[in-house]
């Protein structure tokens, strides 16, 4: 599966009203964040193009500053310097001691370590379904 399929699935769920909020969450052991930024921006842009306006997007990451300044322009709330703990549709924010309740959580999960490690995008509202974009499948 390719990254575009994740975007299509998210936009479809937004268009049909199955979800109204999405958190894109970078887990603490992930260093490759660009695919998640791209997915967040693509999802928001396609949603706006389709006239889907009643949606909330968050980008949660340990990074202190966004790696892409376009997040705010696309209506994505940046939550930086944060180590998130995802529990279903609840994203616990540390050290803020706050939480975000969302309909869908999308993460880049880090599997393994060292040279042979790999990353996969996961869109979660049900049990995780691994999605391996061509750019990340190594």
What residue ranges in the chain does DSSP mark as E strands?
21-26, 56-60, 76-79, 83-87, 90-94, 98-101, 104-111, 118-124, 129-131
CA angle 94–100–105, rounded 5-degree value: 100
pLDDT: is 14 or 131 the higher one? 14
The answer to whether residue 2 scores a pLDDT higher than 90 is: no
What pLDDT is attached to residue 42?
95
Which residues, in sequence order, are bridge partners of residue 22? 57, 104
The answer to whether residue 28 scores a pLDDT higher than 70 is: yes
**Domain 3-130: CATH superfamily, name plus number:** FAD/NAD(P)-binding domain (3.50.50.60)
> Would you say the pTM of this structure is higher than 0.85?
no
Tokens of 31: 């260093």
Query: Which tens digits make up the pLDDT trace of 47-92?
Result: 999 999 899 999 999 999 999 999 999 999 999 999 999 988 899 9
């Amino acid at each position: 599966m390719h990254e575009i399929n994740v975007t299509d699935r998210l936009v479809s769920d937004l268009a049909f009203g199955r979800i109204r909020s999405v958190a894109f969450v970078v887990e603490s052991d992930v260093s490759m964040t660009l695919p998640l930024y791209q997915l967040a921006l693509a999802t928001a842009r396609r949603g706006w193009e389709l006239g889907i306006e009643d949606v909330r997007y968050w980008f949660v990451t340990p990074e202190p500053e966004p790696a892409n300044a376009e997040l705010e322009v696309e209506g994505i709330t940046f939550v930086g310097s944060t180590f998130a703990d995802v529990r279903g549709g609840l994203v616990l924010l540390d050290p803020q001691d706050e939480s975000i309740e969302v309909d869908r959580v999308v993460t880049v999960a880090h599997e393994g370590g060292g040279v042979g490690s790999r990353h996969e995008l996961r869109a979660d509202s049900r049990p995780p379904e691994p999605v391996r974009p061509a750019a990340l499948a190594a």
